[in-house]
Structure 1
Amino acid sequence: MAGGHGTTVPVAYPGPVSGNFAPIHILRNLALLVVLSLVAGILVAGIALPAVGGAGLVGKAGADSFESLPSELATPPLPERSRILDRRGNEIATYYREYRVNVPLEKVAPIMRKAIVAIEDYRFYEHGSLDFKGTLRALARNQAGGSTQGGSTLTQQYVKQVQVEQAKSPDEVQKVTNREGAEGYGRKLQELRYAVTMEKKYSKDEILERYLNIIYFGDGAYGVEAAAQHYFSTSASKLTLTQASMLAGLVRSPYAYDPTKHATTAKARRNTVLQRMGETGAISMAEAAKAQKEYLELKVTEFPNSCGQAGKYNGFFCEYVAQEILGNPAFGKTRTDRYNLLVGGGLTIRTSLDPKVQRSAIKAMRNNVSKKSPIAGSLVTVQPGTGKVRAMVVSRDFTTAGKAKKGQLNFNTAVDRAHGGGNGAQFGSNAKAFTLAAALQDGIPLGYEINAPGSIHNLGGFKDCQGRPNFYPSVFNADGEGGGGGVLDLPRGTMKSVNTFFVLLEHRVGLCKTWKMTRSLGMIRSDGTPMKQYPSLTLGSDEVDPLHVSAAYAAFAAKGKYCRPTPFEYVLDTNGKKLPGIGPECKQALSAGAANAVAYAMKNVFSSGGTAAGLGIGRQAYGKTGTTNDGAAGWFTGYTPELATSVSLASPKGAAAQRLRGADLGPRTASGFGKDAAPIWQQTMQRALKGVEPSQVPMPPPNLMRSVHVQVELPDVKGMPVAAATDLLKKKGFEPVVDPTPVDSTEAKGTVARTEPGGGQARPGSKVTLFVSKGPPGATPTARPSTWPTKKPECKPPWCRP
């Protein structure tokens, strides 16, 4: 029988009508009968019946009016849930506005098709767009005092549901579903007009397929596949008789017959469907009677929405994926378009998250930082050469709650603000890698030496890219890193992380070139603005995040090829086609030679004397600690050719709320240096690379391997007394050594005859050999002045400082 009402809840029949209201009720139904009879006549008039007399004129006028109604109803793709999967295909989360999984009719069990047709429109395959018999029968039953019934066919119900889907507000939904008065009749006519076109455009099976995918089955399940999954944890293709009959019964009033809330009512409705299936011959009456005795036997599967279902660890990565979609023009012109695609586009989002690497990072983080620590650990691992994010972990539990509890975070400290992060943290000495890269790209070789003092004050000569001058007021070497400085080449300066060394190297390369290197390697501040063009750039004064730092360091592992970090392997639309513009975005940020030289300079950080001594991973790796002023935060970023990982330790509330130094991490108290983060990096990389064949970054080119020794003035001490010469050389930073064998010389006996090397230029700290004169050959010994050695000769430049 016809009588479906789609998702509209039927108005309860108030009982027998008495008094003066009965004629009104009768007239209303008669009016609808007249209208529908007229339309029925219209539909067949031009085919089978000639127009006769006045009736013909009325029919023609009605036909003209009916034909003038809009006939084409747009049927855009139905909203479907999108799935976020990890690299191996495991589901991380789903996003949906309506949980729906579209399926073709052949993937719907035949018994389900029979059940829906039997209860909603059993003559569906026999009538056209209007079931005139069904309409008359419904009107007769309504008039007789039975429950209110409609005469809508499945095609008309489908039309109504399409209009409901397209409604943009509750008022529009009410307008579409209104059945009262002239507007209600007008809606019925328009609905029928659309149905006529639908019946011409699609086959009966196509209409049934569309109907089963659009209809609401209650409790958040849209379409028959979602309903099968939700109520019975099965698929539409595997539905049994009792399951199919219960689902078919929900369509009329999914709220009233919801089996999770009203089991008794739902079972009664199911049995009504079974009875009707028996009456229409869809099944035998014996089968119906047997099935009516069975329990509902629900096996409910919930459909969590958004990243809340991703879990306390993967939730941060999930949120990063969602924010990347919302901010990426490849997914739509506007943010609204992208959101609609995410929650209704039926996307299959195969992400780059590697379960093995992620598990390694989670375990390492849990071993080193308690979720209740005031410090939050944040980690990102990126694959060099692709930019694909293989792991993303935060030490606290992910939550979507507006107010996070202790041990939770509702924003992602591993990423920038645009991807759901916060304000970031200063990354200290991690930034020295960009000055190092800029120097090597500029042709400064690894053997280039700098005499780095213990401190520098008021160092001018810096200029930004706009030519504006700047200076460094004061810089000191950290007690835990770098020590007192000295003559260092690039590898030793990097291994010891000497602040004054890198400030002088930045001064030599130029502030603008250093800043441009950060930009080439994708670095931005966590608030989305460019890195600041201050001399403190080389010491990491900018607040950044591990996502961007790991992607930048990955370029050093990939021969200088920088790839923008991405969470995607690929994204499929609802038809299984790959969305364009989702692949890696890469460019050559620096030469392969310079990138390989950066690795060469970083390889000894794990060696004795390095800032992460003893924290290697059992294979060649390259890295840099990151210590900030006053121990506010600690970083370690390192890589192999396979993976680049960046770890930060900082307070999510900012350094003013809690500094790293002295903070309780759980397993230990933080020292405040970058080596606090190094064990997390070490343990992550060791597990993640287990079973992976070791490899190394290639050697730098010869032009970057040469030495350029620093030269300073070597005083000419020839003719000076040995004691005075020795004292002067020591003050100048040299190592004087007196040869025990006197030599012939024109210089006075007992004075310096000569030195090796001679006066001029020499490396700071180098050995200077002094040869003592015994006077000219055959010369009479010169008597010592009575004032020696009680009175030293006046010491004048260049031997002594002025």
Structure 2
Amino acid sequence: MVARRSAGLVKLIGLCLTAGVLVAAVLFPVVGSIGLVSNRAADTVDQTSGDLAKGELPLVTTVQDKDGNAIAYLFNQYRIPTPSDQIAKSMKAAIVAIEDRRFYEHNGVDWQGILRAAAKAGSGGDTQGASTLDQQYVKNYLAFVLGKGDKDAYEKATEQTVARKLKEARIALQLEQRLRAEGKDAKEVILTDYLNVVPYGNRTFGIGAAARTYFNTTPDQLTVPQAALLAAVVNAPSTLNPGTAPDDALKRRNIVIDRMRDTGALGPDKAAAEKAATEYKAAPLGVVSPLNTVSNGCVISEGDGPANGFFCSYLIDYLAKAGLSLDQLKTGGYTIKTTLDQAATRAAKQAAEQQVPKTTDGIANVMSVVQPGQDSHKVRALVSSRDFGNDLNAGQTAYPLPSEVTKFGAGSIYKVFTAAAAMERGLTGIDKTIKTPGNYCSTVFKDGRKPYCVKNAGTYGEEMTLTQALATSPNTGFLGLEDQIGSVAPVVDMAYKLGMRETMQGVNDDGDPLKADKSNGPSLGDATKNENRGSFTLGAGATSVLELANVSATLMSGGKWCPPTPVEQVLDRNGQPVQLKEPACEQVVPKELAYSLVQGMSQDDKGTGTSAGAARNSSWDRPILGKTGTTETSKSTAFMGATPQYAGAVMILSDSPNPENICGGNGRPLYLCGNSANGIGGIYGGTAAAPTWFNAMKVIHQNLPVEQLPPADPKYR
């Protein structure tokens, strides 16, 4: 008993001291004599009350596909802001009844409540009532809005000290004064903002999200029992969770209903109010099961989420480079309309999984689709045979395989850059004959101290046109072209110009992202130039499937490079457009060169072209540019192709921690087949990657007119 009285006396002294200091704080802007409020602190108080008056809350960013359908949500706090006229009177009455029944009678600080609580503290009783809704709003705003829910910010905003209570109360007083001076209904604004700020448990903040999460309804439709439950949960969201502690939540809800009866919220007739309260308390909790929550981030299990996740991941990275950080996205309440085409995504996903089932051990099949254009290159699909997620056993991965620079090469696709660099210098044309002997040793490039030598993988004639060489891919012909160029540097530069920008300058020689200080450099492009690697034309180094797709889009756009953008438009929380810092489109090679190279690559799906079999099997009947590629050890294989309407690239790679060669294809299942030095029995771009491209693009081009390829220019023939 003595201990209880002592504790109560301490509370009494604290409350009285707080009350006295508050009175002084109201009468005097600075209470310097007792050292609790300085000029600097007063400035902070003024600024905070101004922030509260503005009511800027952390909101959910919505990511939409090109047709305006939501595909993902990004947030730190799941919140649906709700104006006062869309909140049921029952909800307002419930929160006032249980948290601050004198809310409409005080000016932000309830002096009577403080004295009443002090009296109870003196006798060891409950001190509830000393903190008003205004003060609670201040506390929650400091913790969850300014503090963003950070643990340290929350602890600071809720610490049990006289100084903290003083600051909180003074802000509350200033807030009401400021709102009245602005001609606003201070009580209505504060009550509405309070209901929109506070946490309701289960990662849900604000009455809009709470009504949806627990009852799948809107705040204006809340019944008395529903409103009472939400008002109850606010008191202790973790311990009164309706899902994990239904009995405690029900008990607290019924206390709220009783308080509503006592305050007249259930009507002026006492008998009728008592009867209503009894009926309301007999109602079940009525919480939906499962709770109606939304997924946060790019890992989404329902609907098309597992396919859309790769696009979502690329979008976040792209926006970060364009000036919108992930933190901004998670608090800003933006609406992002993307370029994602769901039909194209589903077609690409189905084709990728058809070729490589998602649970295939150690092998992934990825595809990127980009739409050519003079003003933008819009990314329409980014998919993998694997789903986007964190369950490896279910065939998922969170690595952005379709958009990142992988450590695996695209093989002979890089011969396109050699051809383009040679054509740019007037060394060859698409109809000009080049030498293609069975073996060739370079006169320019070295393998250690010896000349760099290559041999062809198949049987070819001694010479053929560049167009035939692009279709059948003899190694010796393109090393010979590099010799004519005299250095690998122009070929690397051509790869960069046409679209391999992150690949050439964003990663190091091992395919790892370059650090900001480039301490783990040089870049792959610079290392290739420094060592003058003739092997570059064979595409053994790291590469990006998305950038390969964008290369074919650049060629089909007449040499106009544009960043592969996932964004149509970004709107802020007020519906105003947000300007992004996106790179401008560039004319990187003459239109005549680009279109001539398109014609030079137009035979890959015909006759003896490396993808002809895949084209026949899919009944492909449109003109394309195309090029296959396979790395020497068959750990990856790829196909790049485009029509005037769509460009795309496919890559099959060994994505296990210990990559192995890949075997199969040509109608057979793919499987890991060890690490033989030369990849004997391995896959090829035409028999493994190309089928995915043709099967996907066949669906994507349905109902589109057949468009012819642009003509070549005589200068580059």
Common topology (TM > 0.5): yes
Give the whole-Å Cα distance in 1 for the aligned partners of 2:534 and 2:342.
41
> Relative to 1, partners in 2 of residues 1:492 and 1:127: Cα closer, same or farther, differing over 3 Å?
same
Shift of 1:613: 1.3
Partner of 1:271 in structure 2? 254
> Relative to 1, partners in 2 of residues 1:347 and 1:353: Cα closer, same or farther, differing over 3 Å?
same
Which 10-residue stretch deviates more, 144-153 or 595-604?
Answer: 144-153
Give the whole-Å Cα distance in 1 for the aligned partners of 2:380 and 2:281.
53
Q: What secondary structure, in the 3-state scheme, does the structure 2 residue paired with 1:605 have?
A: coil
Shift of 1:581: 1.5
Letter in 2 for 1:505: L
Shift of 1:127: 1.7
Greater radius of gyration (CA): 1
Structure 2 portions without partners, runs of 5+: 180-185, 268-272, 505-510, 514-522, 672-680
Correspondence for 2:430 among 446, 459, 462: 446
| 1:484 counterpart = 2:460 | yes
Partner of 1:366 in structure 2? 353
Letter in 2 for 1:72: D
| 1:117 counterpart = 2:117 | no
> Relative to 1, partners in 2 of residues 1:124 and 1:462: Cα closer, same or farther, differing over 3 Å?
same
Deviations 1:722-775 (A, max 9, x none): xxxxxxxxxxxxxxxxxxxxxxxxxxxxxxxxxxxxxxxxxxxxxxxxxxxxxx
Shift of 1:677: 0.9
Give the whole-Å Cα distance in 2 for the aligned partners of 1:315 and 1:664.
29
Give the whole-Å Cα distance in 2 for the aligned partners of 1:472 and 1:323.
42
Give the whole-Å Cα distance in 2 for the aligned partners of 1:65 and 1:600.
80
Counterpart mapping for 1:21-40 below 5 A: 21-26=4-9, 28-29=11-12, 32-33=15-16, 35-36=18-19, 39-40=22-23
Correspondence for 1:629 among 620, 627, 632: 632
> Relative to 1, partners in 2 of residues 1:159 and 1:376: Cα closer, same or farther, differing over 3 Å?
same
Correspondence for 1:343 among 323, 330, 340: 330
Give the whole-Å Cα distance in 1 for the aligned partners of 2:714 and 2:689.
34
Correspondence for 1:673 among 684, 706, 712: 684
Partner of 1:221 in structure 2? 204
Give the whole-Å Cα distance in 1 for the aligned partners of 2:449 and 2:466.
24
Shift of 1:593: 1.0
Shift of 1:204: 2.3
RMSD, matched Cα: 3.1
Shift of 1:141: 4.5
Partner of 1:437 in structure 2? 420
Partner of 2:46 in structure 1? 72
Q: What secondary structure, in the 3-state scheme, does the structure 1 residue paired with 2:552 have?
A: helix
TM-score normalised by structure 1 residue count: 0.75
Q: Percent identity?
A: 33
| 1:620 counterpart = 2:640 | no
Preserved contact between residue 602 and residue 626 of structure 2 (Cα < 8 Å): yes
Preserved contact between residue 449 and residue 487 of structure 1 (Cα < 8 Å): yes
Correspondence for 1:692 among 704, 707, 712: 704
Which 10-residue stretch deviates more, 281-290 or 538-547?
Answer: 281-290
Preserved contact between residue 651 and residue 659 of structure 1 (Cα < 8 Å): yes
> Relative to 1, partners in 2 of residues 1:361 and 1:45: Cα closer, same or farther, differing over 3 Å?
closer
> Relative to 1, partners in 2 of residues 1:560 and 1:291: Cα closer, same or farther, differing over 3 Å?
same
| 1:356 counterpart = 2:343 | yes
> Relative to 1, partners in 2 of residues 1:31 and 1:699: Cα closer, same or farther, differing over 3 Å?
closer
Counterpart mapping for 1:26-425 below 5 A: 26=9, 28-29=11-12, 32-33=15-16, 35-36=18-19, 39-40=22-23, 43=26, 70=42, 71-74=45-48, 75=51, 77-143=56-122, 146-165=125-144, 166-167=146-147, 170-179=151-160, 184-202=161-179, 203-284=186-267, 285=273, 286-299=275-288, 300-309=291-300, 311-326=305-320, 328-331=321-324, 338-371=325-358, 372-385=360-373, 386-400=376-390, 404-405=392-393, 407-417=395-405, 422-423=406-407, 425=408
Partner of 1:749 in structure 2? none
Letter in 2 for 1:507: D
Give the whole-Å Cα distance in 2 for the aligned partners of 1:657 and 1:144.
73
Shift of 1:583: 5.1
Give the whole-Å Cα distance in 2 for the aligned partners of 1:644 and 1:434.
17
| 1:508 counterpart = 2:484 | yes
Which 10-residue stretch deviates more, 267-276 or 375-384?
Answer: 267-276
Give the whole-Å Cα distance in 1 for the aligned partners of 2:701 and 2:32.
80
Structure 1 portions without partners, runs of 5+: 1-17, 47-58, 332-337, 706-802
TM-score normalised by structure 2 residue count: 0.83
**4+ runs deviating over 6 angstroms:** 59-67, 468-471, 663-666
Which 10-residue stretch deviates more, 278-287 or 631-640?
Answer: 278-287
Give the whole-Å Cα distance in 2 for the aligned partners of 1:105 and 1:585.
44
The structure with the greater share of residues assigned to helix is 2
Aligned length: 649
> Relative to 1, partners in 2 of residues 1:377 and 1:41: Cα closer, same or farther, differing over 3 Å?
closer
Give the whole-Å Cα distance in 2 for the aligned partners of 1:472 and 1:398.
45
Which 10-residue stretch deviates more, 440-449 or 678-687?
Answer: 440-449
Shift of 1:146: 4.7
Letter in 1 for 2:468: R
Deviations 1:384-434 (A, max 9, x none): 122322111222233336xx33734342332325xxxx42x1211111111
Deviations 1:512-570 (A, max 9, x none): 32221111123125434343232222221222121111111110111111122232222
Deviations 1:639-681 (A, max 9, x none): 0111111111121148x73212348996467752111211100
Partner of 1:55 in structure 2? none
Give the whole-Å Cα distance in 2 for the aligned partners of 1:342 and 1:27.
46
Shift of 1:471: 8.2
> Relative to 1, partners in 2 of residues 1:429 and 1:67: Cα closer, same or farther, differing over 3 Å?
closer
Q: What secondary structure, in the 3-state scheme, does the structure 2 residue paired with 1:103 have?
A: coil
Partner of 2:544 in structure 1? 545
Shift of 1:365: 1.2
Letter in 1 for 2:300: Q
Partner of 2:573 in structure 1? 574
